[in-house]
Amino acid sequence: MIRRYLSGLCHLIWQRAWLRYPVLLGLAVVLLYVGLWLTIMVHSYQALAQPPMNKADAALVLGNRAYLNGAPNPCLTGRVDAAVQLGSSGQVTQLVMSGGVDEEDGRVESQLMMQHARDIGYTGVVHEESASSSTLENLYFSAAVLCANRIKNGHRCFRALPSVAH
């Protein structure tokens, strides 16, 4: 029954020239859309499966609450673990730990991060920024540490400072 209906519909469309071209055009547009969508999906999947890893001079680790319920904050230690992994794999040559005094327990976040990096075996260069009390200050003061240690191109540091300040 369905086969007969579809056969009749196709015959009707093909017999009427004024219907033939819009239907063929619509079919072509749908096929083009599906092909384009599949191409984008395949390339996106490949790009996300293996993102390019460009080497950098340093990894900047922003601070977070130092302790949570009497133990080192997993969010903070997770950030340090990721940075140490970058350093151990050769993706970065230095780490910059940025975090000031935690208002709740009085500990200096950057010192805790540096100690954690050493505890898990990182032996590379570690710089510290311990004056910040907010994420904005983390970025602002860390830019100065990056520039002072000639990490990457110096002119980029000075260009970055005004944009962070706003």
In CATH terms, the fold of domain 56-165 is Rossmann fold (3.40.50)
Specify the residue for token string 């029954």.
1
Ranges assigned E (strand) in 63-165:
67-68, 71-72, 92-98, 125-129
Taking the alpha carbons of 142, 145, 149, 152 in that order, is the dihedral positive or negative?
Answer: positive
- Lowest-confidence segment of 4-18, 64-78, 101-115 by average pLDDT: 4-18
Locate the domains of the chain by residue range.
2-49, 56-165
- The tokens describing 83, both together, are 């940075």
Q: Rounded distance, CA 32 to CA 45, Å? A: 20
Q: Rounded distance, CA 164 to CA 136, Å? A: 7
- The mean pLDDT value of the chain amounts to 82
pLDDT, tens digit, for every residue of 113-162? 999 999 999 999 999 999 988 888 888 888 888 888 887 654 455 555 55
Average pLDDT over residues 63-83: 86
Spatial contact of 128 and 97, defined as CB atoms under 8 Å apart: yes
Q: What pTM value is reported for the model?
A: 0.62
Task: Specify the 3-state DSSP secondary structure of 112.
Answer: helix
DSSP state of 56: E
